[in-house]
Amino acid sequence: MLRKAEVFSLSFTRKITPPFTDIRRALKALGATLLFTLAACSAQKPQPQQPPVQQPPQSQSAAALQRWEAKGKLGVRSPKENGSANLVWQQANTNYRIHLSGPLGAGATTISGSPSGVSLQKGSDPAVFASNPAQLTEEVMGWPLPVSEMFYWVRGLAAPGAAAGQQQDARGRLQSLRQSGWQLNFSGYQAVGPYQLPSKIKAATTNAAGPVSVTVVIKEWTPK
C-alpha cells in the first residue's frame, strides 16, 4: 500500500511530464494543413491563356479558279527552237492573253484567244488568226503550244476528254498525266489562297518534226 507522500509524488510526475507523442502528432497535422492550404492557393492562381491553334486554310478545287494572272517563264526544246521567254498569262473565264517576251518570243509575242478563235502577233508582224492555238503556234513559231488543254493543266487539272496515267500525291495533287498526245509531269505546287496550284509543269510530245518539250514555271499567281 502506497503512502500519501508516494501517491503525491506520482501524481505530480504525471502532471509535469510533457506529452511528446501528442505534440508530434499536432505538429504533423499542422504541417499537413499548411501544405494543403498552399496547394489550394497555388491551384487558384490564374493560368496563362494559351494562344488559339491556327487551323490551316481549307483547300478548294482549282476548277473554281477561272480568272487569274500568272507570271513566270516558258521554255521550249524542239527541232526548230531551243530557248526560253518570260511569260505573263492573263485569263478571264474563256478569254485569255498570253504574252511572251525574250529570246524565245523574238522580242514580244502575244497569243489572244476566245471561244471564237485565236490570234498570234509576233513582234511588229501582222496578227495571224486560226481556230486552234496549238496549230497556230506550230505554224508561226515552229512548235505547238496546246493552250486549250493548258487552261486546265496549268491549274493542276486534267482537261476534258480521254486521259491516262494519272498519278496523284498523298494530298490528291496531280503528279503525272497523259492526254492529247502529251506526257505531263507536275514537279511542284504552291498555296495560293484556298488553292494548290502547280509551280512547274513539263509537257512532252512527238510530232512529225520530232520531239517537243515545253516547260512552264509559274513564279507568281494572282487570282482575280
pLDDT per position as a tens digit, 39-52 = 454 555 455 555 54
Element (H, E) at 53: none
Of 14 and 21, the one with more pLDDT: 21
Q: Tell me if 97 is assigned to some domain.
A: yes
Q: Tell me if 141 is assigned to some domain.
A: yes
* Mean pLDDT to the nearest integer, 131-145: 93
CA atoms of 48 and 35, how far apart (whole Å): 24
Whether pLDDT at 130 is above 70: yes
Q: Tell me if 40 is assigned to some domain.
A: no
pLDDT band at 25 (very low <50, low <70, confident <90, very high): low
Q: Which of 43-47, 77-81, 172-176, 200-204 has the lowest mean pLDDT?
A: 43-47
CA atoms of 148 and 170, how far apart (whole Å): 28
| CATH, residue 217 | 2.50.20.10
* Mean pLDDT to the nearest integer, 53-69: 75
Q: Express each pLDDT in 95-115 by its tens digit.
A: 999 999 988 756 799 999 999
Per the structure, the complete domain to which residue 137 belongs is given by 62-223
Helix, strand, or coil (residue 2): coil
CA dihedral 201, 207, 209, 214 (to 10 degrees): -10
* pLDDT score recorded for residue 16: 43
pTM, to two decimals: 0.73
Cα distances (Å, whole numbers) of residue 151 to 6, 62, 83, 89, 197: 118, 11, 22, 10, 12
Task: Give me 5's grid cell.
Answer: 507522500
Highest mean pLDDT among 11-25, 27-41, 97-111, 168-182: 168-182
Q: Tell me if 26 is assigned to some domain.
A: no
Q: Which of 106-110, 143-147, 171-175, 183-187 has the lowest mean pLDDT?
A: 106-110
CA dihedral 149, 153, 155, 156 (to 10 degrees): 150
Q: Tell me if 199 is assigned to some domain.
A: yes
* pLDDT score recorded for residue 22: 56
The answer to whether the CB of 165 falls within 8 A of the CB of 181 is no
* pLDDT score recorded for residue 193: 94
* pLDDT score recorded for residue 107: 76
**Beta strand 117-122 pairing with 107-114:** antiparallel
Percent of the chain clearing pLDDT 90 (strictly above): 64
* Mean pLDDT to the nearest integer, 144-161: 96
Q: How many separate domains does the chain show?
A: 1
Q: Which of 19-23, 178-182, 213-217 has the lowest mean pLDDT?
A: 19-23
* pLDDT score recorded for residue 44: 52
